[in-house]
Structure 1
């Protein structure tokens, strides 16, 4: 795996325009053309879809948002989904292929342009991309979406409570928010920093900062304050040997959390 993968998981999305790091935006601009190279530095993000997209679908079934007997080729038809921190659109495209209307949101202008170009080549009329922050988007799109997703973004956000607040603000009452991020535990520290950055050097040193991780209990409390109920949590682990992700039940080293916004 190319060591620049860490930049794909960097601080690409924060809630206030003045706190967006211009250098991080430049990093994405420099690498934008590699987002859709399946064997390149973004390969692990593509294989992550093999876990996170079925997880999202199953969670929406279990929570009654969609029916289990829905059209198998387009089970999310009729839903509106906001993908916060979408980057080049790997998750956004995957979700749109299931029939829902997807809005991909990112602060990086160059990666959004790459995402738009790739979507055009794939004939996905139910997918659109916007170059904006979640703060600005939430101000004009209150309670608009059925679902908000944000995958591998929160660990790079400085104002986490504000970020979560605006994500929740975009969801309709009764809607779902689904997030993935490293847990703030010794196992996550060892896996994400020691193993990935120092032992195997899969990621460049400094890609992750432990102090920026958020423990799952802390995130639950933030979400609870925003009138959300946690309905499911699980964990996910990446194996660099075979470029695969594996689900687990112990919420480590990275956790997936599904909450529902109370009416």
Structure 2
């Protein structure tokens, strides 16, 4: 798949339409705001973000990018949804976040331009929205320095994930806009781990993320049956 085609125009349009809502913690992006501290702590615990050069692939409105920069990293957030990037840039200016920039560029294109230039690569809640997720994994591997860290998160593909992430989150609890996810694009941990190994990465840790709709609490666990995160290092 070529660099120019590894994006779904409908997916880009969907997130661009909601762009102005990214930084409203009670909007459709409330779940991202709620899980961001968990993701940030998990990444920082392993990669020690302070002083590191980081690229955040599929950064959207910049929720994770901004928080990593505030941890002391020098962060480049990339995405192909132009409206979301404009919102991210505006928020960074208003918040006065230092060492943070955004670019509208594909991961594959940036990998060709800046191979082995980053200490850390993050790609969260993005792989299930592109036509060829393995291409993103390979680009991420190209971008990171030897010994560097890579962090991915996505959704497992099984009946429970369909029930929780689509029927539950989108239709019953209204945690996400209807149509946010397509079940056929969900990725089993074994598939993601295989793509990582094929890209020259060692899988270090896999964690699950769970949610209690009664307490509205999120937490990390060993249960990867729905949402999960994968940490890798470049060999």
Task: Check whether the contact 1:15–1:162 (CA below 8 A) recurs between aligned residues.
Answer: no
Match of 1:85?
Answer: 58
- Most deviating of 189-198 and 39-48: 189-198
CA distance in 1, matches of 2:10, 2:159: 29
SS in 2 for 1:189: helix
Output the TM-score relative to the length of structure 1: 0.83
Task: Check whether the contact 1:38–1:46 (CA below 8 A) recurs between aligned residues.
Answer: yes
Equivalent residues in 2 for 1:1-16 (5 A)? Answer: 16=3
Equivalent residues in 2 for 1:123-162 (5 A)? Answer: 123-162=96-135
Task: Check whether the contact 1:15–1:134 (CA below 8 A) recurs between aligned residues.
Answer: no
Match of 2:14?
Answer: 27
1:105 aligns with 2:78: yes
Match of 1:18?
Answer: 5
Out of 232, 235, 253, which is 2:208 matched to?
235
Task: Check whether the contact 2:156–2:227 (CA below 8 A) recurs between aligned residues.
Answer: yes
Equivalent residues in 2 for 1:55-66 (5 A)? Answer: 55-60=42-47, 66=48
With over 3 angstroms needed to count, the CA separation of the structure-2 counterparts of 1:44 and 1:224, relative to structure 1, is: same
Deviation at 1:203, TM superposition (A): 3.6
The gaps in structure 2 that reach 5 residues or longer are: none
CA distance in 1, matches of 2:202, 2:180: 31
With over 3 angstroms needed to count, the CA separation of the structure-2 counterparts of 1:15 and 1:154, relative to structure 1, is: farther
The gaps in structure 1 that reach 5 residues or longer are: 1-13, 61-65, 67-75
Equivalent residues in 2 for 1:179-258 (5 A)? Answer: 179-258=152-231
Task: Check whether the contact 1:220–1:230 (CA below 8 A) recurs between aligned residues.
Answer: yes
RMSD, aligned α-carbons: 1.9
SS in 2 for 1:105: strand
SS in 1 for 2:122: strand
CA distance in 1, matches of 2:124, 2:206: 14
Deviation at 1:241, TM superposition (A): 4.0
- Indicate the structure whose relative CO is greater, using CA pairs within 8 Å and at least 6 residues apart: 1
With over 3 angstroms needed to count, the CA separation of the structure-2 counterparts of 1:190 and 1:170, relative to structure 1, is: same
Output the TM-score relative to the length of structure 2: 0.92
Deviation string, structure 1 residues 64-104 (Cα, Å, up to 9, x no partner): xx4xxxxxxxxx32101110000000000011100010100
**Number of matched residues?**
235
- Most deviating of 106-115 and 181-190: 181-190
